Amino acid sequence: MYFLILGTFVVFTLFLVLFTSIKFDKKLEKKKISWRIFEPSLLFFFFLFSFANFGYSFYILKVYDFLKSESFALGMYLIFGFVLLVSTYLAGRVYDSLNLKNFLYITVVIFILSNLLLIIFPPLGLITLAIGEAFLEIGVWATVGKRVKFRKGFVFGVYHFVIGISSFISSFVSGYLWDYFSSDAPFLLGTFVAFLSLFYIHKFIRV
């Protein structure tokens, strides 16, 4: 325990030294920060939709409960990683060929299918989830990169922070539902949130 605390202190100190030694270019153009640079409608959408995406641990645990085998569950996780890798490339191609609204529709529908399949047949649900995760990653970062014209690093950080908060809250709620209701309850919540996200896209997301 002592070494863990000491190591944490050393790493934090090195980070502070490194950060304070960076010389920022004061000649860079300073532009006034406006809430509009965050694309608020998109930021709220990804905050909302992240409630349907509550962490790999729940998905793997669901698959393990279904298969009753650690080795098979591990094998499914490896397949999940491979499908995620390939799907990221495909999602990028799809993103470039569609407008944003249609791309987000497809992403949400994939998550609806994956959550329902995780209840009915978890192994197939996990593979479908890998495709959804790839589409979500591309949807977030490609959209921010395309829409945001300046202070991109700052805006990326805000999006990552907001999505992280949403995922943390959804994981906490999902754990409670799993323990006190059933292992299907988190995925029913994910399905419900995904349907809400479809309505939000229709009403508030511009092309």
Query: Quick check: 55 pLDDT over 90?
Result: no
pLDDT confidence of residue 125: 96
Q: What is the C-alpha to C-alpha distance for residues 19 and 183, in angstroms, rounded to an integer?
A: 44
The model's pLDDT over 139-187, given as tens digits with 9 standing for 90+, comes to 998 988 888 777 778 888 899 999 999 989 999 999 999 999 999 999 9
Query: Quick check: 8 pLDDT over 70?
Result: no
**Single-letter amino acid code for the residue at 61:** L
Q: Which helix (H) or strand (E) holds 38?
A: none
pLDDT confidence of residue 24: 46
Band of pLDDT at residue 194, cut at 50, 70 and 90 = very high
Q: How much is the pTM?
A: 0.82
Residues 6+ apart with CB under 8 A from 163: 46, 47, 50, 140
The model's pLDDT over 97-146, given as tens digits with 9 standing for 90+, comes to 999 999 999 999 999 999 999 999 999 999 999 999 999 999 998 988 88
